[in-house]
Copies of this chain bind each other. A is one copy, B any other.
Amino acid sequence: MSARDQAIAARAAMPALMRAGTQGRVAALNRMADALVVREAEILAANALDVAAAAAAMAAGKLSSALAARLDLSRSKLAVLADGIRAIAAMDEPIGRKLRHTEVASGMDLRLETTPIGVLLIIFESRPDALPQLAALALRAGDALVLKGGAEASRSNAILHEVLCDALAPDLPRDALQLVRTREEVGELLALDDVIDLVIPRGSNALVRAIQSNTRIPVLGHADGVCHVFVDVDADQDMARRIVTDAKKDYPAACNAMETLLVHRALVTAGHLPSLLSALDGVELFAHPEQTVELGLPAAPSLHHEYGDLAATVAIVDDVAAAIAHIRRWGSAHTDAIVTANAATADRFIADVDSACVFWNASTRFADGYRFGLGGEVGVSTARLHARGPVGVDGLLTSRWVLQGSGQTVTMTRTGEVAYTHRPLP
């Protein structure tokens, strides 16, 4: 079956996904969770082949160690995945939720309600544990799915796909979950703007940018994660060190890791900088290019630089206004945090920093669908439309207007037979 035929088959499965109802979709998700545990031996055996091949490829210099490291599945990872899918199954029904409800005129009831987007194309690299989580989020939202994984995880993805598809029956059609296997088909898939409604890339910035430039299908995702922590003059210094350490060192490759530390000048004047920077022990530090002498650090390549590693830029700012201006000018509007005990300063920061996630006294690392209580995420969006920040099931829904009348016409509103009331309903 060609990639196009696979996408068409996914599209054809949409009405059945809706008709299955809450009960059918929830039952299928719970069976998917069970199957990951019951069939773990098959899954781990296939994964072991991928891992062995990756080790050989790495030894031959054909695969990066970062990609290889993400391949590995384990019994405990599968159990965590299964729990995550059960949590997504246990959510309140996301489809058909009323977003707005209005009496348009006497006998005319209008509601705006959530509905599935349609067919999603998710392109992901390496990490095979993404597949079950993405499948669960999409099916919970009633969306059909075309998945394209990395070649290095092909055996793991194939068995995970088979296990999950087997678990769909009898409630959901097997066609709702398509796995595309060869690399050549990505370009073909990106051309299918008449069949696919949304592309979600999960992977490197380079992957996201390449996809955005090569398709007319809307793309949900982020290309940059230049996150800031601003340590204000009124910050509790212990809290600041703890948050800065976590924001940079907990997982430096994550998009929600801190790339730039902004320090209030008064803290520097008061001699607090060395103590604050001790929080970044083991992190390679660079200075704002205009502050290399003052900070005694080499210049950062740019103020809009994502290290994605144990490295960070340090910049001194005069006050909260300067911190806000720096973030608006140089940030990527992903996640930016202030550490301060001063509520007025925090309010100003929260009001004026226009990022997808704005945090006060918390690590940027909390910008994550699971941590936000969304049950998981398909990614973090820095686009301004549709969904922003961590995207869970809600971001995989769209809306539609349902109007129930009793024979009204627009002509009758002109003759006075029908009068608009526009009364909000519960």
What residues make up the interface of A, taking CB atoms closer than 8 Å to B? 14-15, 18-19, 100, 102, 104, 108, 110, 112, 115, 117-118, 197-198, 212, 216, 218, 220, 236, 239, 242-243, 245-247, 250, 346, 350-352, 354-363, 365-367, 371-373, 383-390, 394, 398-413, 420, 422
A277 to chain B minimum Cβ distance, whole angstroms, is 17
What residues of B have a CB within 8 angstroms of the CB of A402 in the complex?
Answer: 350, 357-360
What residues of B have a CB within 8 angstroms of the CB of A100 in the complex?
Answer: 394
What residues of B have a CB within 8 angstroms of the CB of A245 in the complex?
Answer: 409, 411
Q: A104-B372, A362-B108, A402-B358 are in contact. Are A236 and B407 (CB under 8 A)?
A: yes
Q: How far is the CA of A178 from the CA of B420 in the complex (A)?
A: 34
Given contacts A246-B412, A388-B399, 16 further A-B contacts (CB under 8 A): A18-B351, A110-B372, A112-B389, A198-B385, A212-B216, A218-B383, A218-B385, A358-B403, A359-B404, A362-B404, A362-B408, A365-B410, A366-B405, A366-B408, A389-B400, A390-B401
Q: A117-B385, A371-B104, A420-B373 are in contact. Are A405 and B351 (CB under 8 A)?
A: no
What residues of B have a CB within 8 angstroms of the CB of A420 in the complex?
Answer: 371, 373
A66 to chain B minimum Cβ distance, whole angstroms, is 20
Q: Across the interface, do B385 and A401 meet the contact criterion of CB distance under 8 Å?
A: no
What residues of B have a CB within 8 angstroms of the CB of A387 in the complex?
Answer: 399
What residues of B have a CB within 8 angstroms of the CB of A212 in the complex?
Answer: 216
A100 to chain B minimum Cβ distance, whole angstroms, is 8
Q: Across the interface, do A361 and B405 meet the contact criterion of CB distance under 8 Å?
A: yes
Q: A360-B404, A365-B409, A409-B363 are in contact. Are A115 and B399 (CB under 8 A)?
A: no
What residues of B have a CB within 8 angstroms of the CB of A239 in the complex?
Answer: 407
A to B CB contacts below 8 Å, 18 in the list: A212-B216, A218-B383, A245-B409, A245-B411, A246-B409, A247-B409, A250-B409, A356-B400, A357-B400, A358-B400, A358-B401, A358-B403, A359-B403, A362-B405, A366-B408, A371-B420, A384-B398, A388-B398
Residue of B whose beta carbon sits closest to that of A398: B384
Could you say how many copies of this chain the assembly holds?
2
What residues of B have a CB within 8 angstroms of the CB of A242 in the complex?
Answer: 407, 409
What residues of B have a CB within 8 angstroms of the CB of A355 in the complex?
Answer: 400
Q: Across the interface, do B357 and A117 meet the contact criterion of CB distance under 8 Å?
A: no
Q: How far is the CA of A352 from the CA of B367 in the complex (A)?
A: 36
Q: Across the interface, do A366 and B118 meet the contact criterion of CB distance under 8 Å?
A: no
What residues of B have a CB within 8 angstroms of the CB of A371 in the complex?
Answer: 104, 410, 413, 420
What residues of B have a CB within 8 angstroms of the CB of A366 in the complex?
Answer: 104, 108, 403, 405, 408, 410
A360 interface neighbour in B218, B357, B399, B405, Cβ under 8 Å? B405
Which of A100, A216, A355, A411 has its CB near the most chain B CB atoms (within 10 A)? A411
A387 to chain B minimum Cβ distance, whole angstroms, is 8
A253 to chain B minimum Cβ distance, whole angstroms, is 14
Q: How far is the CA of A196 from the CA of B170 in the complex (A)?
A: 48
Residue of B whose beta carbon sits closest to that of A346: B404
What residues of B have a CB within 8 angstroms of the CB of A18 in the complex?
Answer: 351-352
A130 to chain B minimum Cβ distance, whole angstroms, is 19
Q: Across the interface, do B386 and A386 meet the contact criterion of CB distance under 8 Å?
A: yes
For the complex of A and B, 5 pairs with smallest distance between CB atoms: A362-B405, A246-B409, A373-B422, A239-B407, A365-B410
